[in-house]
Amino acid sequence: MALIINSIIAILLIYYGWKYAFQSGLVVNHPFAPVVKCVCGKDLSFLLFSVMTSMVFLGPLSLVKYAIWICIMVFMSLRWVKKWDSVLTMYLVFIVWNLYTLTYSNYVFQGWMMILKFSIPILYFWMGYNAIEDSLDLGIFLKRTVIICVIYSFLIGGVSAKLISPLYGFLCFGTGGTFVAYASLADFYSILIGIPVMLYVITSDRKYLYAAGLLFLSSILESVRTGIGASILGLSMLFLVYKKGKAIPIVMLLLALSVGSVLLVQPVREKMFGKQAETVTISNMGQAKIETNGREYMWERIMNHCYKPDPTFGSGCGGALGWLKDINSKGGLQLIHSDWVQMMSESGNIGLCLYILFAAFLLFKILTITWKYKGDIILTLLGGVTAGSFAACYFCMGFDNVITYAQQGYVLPFMLFGIFLKVVDLTRQGVFKVEEEIHS
């Protein structure tokens, strides 16, 4: 039965994905005049549908869904403006290095799968850039994304898990895993949590502040430590980009919220510190040993086998993950639970440095643009949301399989970067007036 359910869902996903990409757009409420209906362009419709179905992609038949989704985007790219940026050049250098490491990898097929996963974000960058044509498109994207996140919270998020557990159990387990929640959803939320905060700053409408709180609450209710930390880091980066030095009090408040979540919420506290949870206080918190659920031992084995023999070059793309699957082929963990450990082990110090250079150059680019347009609240906030999404994603990569498994989380920051650069281009042309329309 589960296979039948997921096959039907996969067929529906592909049908509507193709429809929105090439035939007709989504009909939505006008973001600035709710009683008015409007039709989204095909690129924006497909982008919204991709965000809407993110947690469905990670379940059964995911390889089939991804393969067809990539094909759809490749066909869509024939009509896209192929915007390029120096930041993408830095990222491409990282991909090229990983291509070279295939020459000495013992797991070439696994390596090619990683190359594909590294490359997909470029398509999402182009999709984000081409989806936004004016302030109306940006307003639709921002508001619909918040709605999608809130709906997920009541379907498969922490609210559902604690208050509507039969629905949560059915969607996540009873259907054979149609929806994938918990850590993957927490990653998704932490990457997008800046969007409702941005809308609150612009509109002063408290419903967006409540929406952001709901996303954060989802991670707390399910005791997802990665989601809590990533959300705090992402929001801190947002305000640092938006307010610069004036954001320090806000950042301190967010850090206090993070510490409070760990110390005052019993399930989170126990998840963080295990057996010593009852003895941990704010004074000795720094010395307490964090519970890693065996990941530390696994990371040490992987590093000893794949990284330490040749730290400069690593074991080659796919080497660490392929080796882990081999030794656990009869049962056991087959995911590394840290993209950074995997990157170091497979790409070596060279690959790791190239990726860090890309991340640093990305932040420098966003800071440069937002400083230039510091009087433009929309542009600076969008830059903060983009930088925050990358910061949250990088935090999640430390403890989850964002690139290897929860790919829908990894592509979102690149999509936001594409949207950000498009808004920059539209602003330069003097045709972007979203703030005026929001307050009209």
pLDDT tens sequence across 113-136: 999 999 999 999 999 999 999 888
**What average pLDDT does this structure show over 69-86?**
91
Q: What is the pLDDT of residue 98?
A: 96
Q: Are 222 and 265 in contact (CB under 8 A)?
A: no
pLDDT given for residue 121 in this prediction: 94
Note the pLDDT of residue 291: 65
Distance in angstroms (rounded) separating the CA atoms of residues 192 and 386: 9
- Average pLDDT value for residue range 296-307: 87
DSSP secondary structure letters along 266-331: HHHHHHHHGGGGGG--TTTTTTSPPP-TTHHHHHHHHIIIIITT-TTT-S-TTHHHHHHHHHTTTS
pLDDT at 434 over 60: no
Least confident interval from 93-97, 178-182, 296-300, 301-305: 178-182
Q: What pLDDT band is residue 247 in, cutting at 50, 70 and 90?
A: confident
Cβ neighbors of 438 (< 8 A, separation 6 or more) are 31, 32, 139, 202, 203
Judge whether 110 and 321 are in contact, CB under 8 Å. yes
- What are the boundaries of each domain within the chain? 1-429
| Phi, psi torsion values for 367, nearest 5 degrees | -65, -40
- Summarised one tens digit per residue, pLDDT across range 214-243 is 999 988 888 888 889 999 999 999 999 998
Q: How confident is the model at residue 8 (pLDDT cuts 50, 70, 90)?
A: confident
pLDDT at residue 354, rounded to an integer: 96
- Round to whole Å and give the CA distance between 245 and 379: 18
> In the numeric block, which tokens belong to residue 3?
């296979």
- Residue 273 is predicted with a pLDDT of 66
Q: Which of 361, 390, 405, 373 is nearest to 92 (CA)?
A: 361
pLDDT at 439 over 50: no
User: Up-side HSE of residue 228: CA atoms within 13 Å toward CB?
Assistant: 24
Average pLDDT on 382-390 reads 96
pLDDT, residue 54, reads 86
Buried b (16+ CB within 10 A) or exposed e, 66-100: beebeebbeebeeeeeeeebebbebbeebbebbee
What is the C-alpha separation between 110 and 44, in angstroms, rounded? Answer: 33
At 320, which amino acid appears? Answer: A
Q: Which of 96-105, 283-292, 427-436 has the lowest mean pLDDT?
A: 283-292
Answer for the pair 151, 353: CB distance below 8 angstroms, yes or no: no
Residue the block writes with tokens 């919270």:
153
Which amino acid is residue 103, in one-letter code? T
Give yes or no for residue 203 having a pLDDT over 80.
Answer: yes
Predicted pLDDT of residue 366: 95
State the pLDDT at residue 440: 47
Question: Which of 125-134, 159-168, 399-408 holds the top average pLDDT?
Answer: 125-134
Q: Is 70 exceeded by the pLDDT of residue 275? A: no
Tens-place pLDDT, residues 24-74: 888 888 777 777 788 889 999 999 999 998 888 766 667 777 888 889 999
